[in-house]
Structure formats: C-alpha cells, structure tokens
C-alpha cells in the first residue's frame, strides 16, 4: 500500500504541474490524465 500512496502523490504532483503549463500554452483541457508506465490511469 505504501508504494501506491507514493505513486498517487507523484501523479497528483504531475497533474498540478501540467495544468498551469497547458494554460500558459492557451490550451483549455477538460481534464488532465496521468498514465503510469503500463498505460494505466494514475490520476485525472
């Protein structure tokens, strides 16, 4: 369970970083999806 919590924290950090970057580029996404190495959704 510890690894899952760490992965979720990393996924949320990536999401927080990606959203402002998209806004700066003039993009208006409906959502941000973070995928793991296996293509599984980690956060959205």
User: Which residues span the domain enclosing 29?
Assistant: 2-43
Of 29, 11, 9, 10, the closest CA to residue 20 belongs to: 29
Instruction: Please name the residue ranges forming H helices in 1-44.
Output: 2-24
Output the pLDDT for position 2. Answer: 47
- pLDDT over threshold 80, residue 39: yes
Q: Which two tokens stand for residue 38?
A: 């296996």
pLDDT of residue 20 exceeding 70, the answer is yes
Percent of all residues in the chain with a pLDDT value above 90, rounded to a whole number: 0
Does pTM surpass 0.85?
A: no
For the chain, the domain total comes to 1
- Give me the pLDDT at residue 1, please: 45
| pLDDT value of residue 3 | 56
């Amino acid at each position: 369970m510890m690894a899952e919590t760490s992965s979720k924290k990393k996924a949320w950090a990536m999401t927080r970083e990606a959203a402002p970057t998209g806004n700066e580029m003039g993009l208006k996404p409906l959502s941000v999806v973070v995928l793991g190495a296996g293509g599984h959704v980690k956060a959205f």
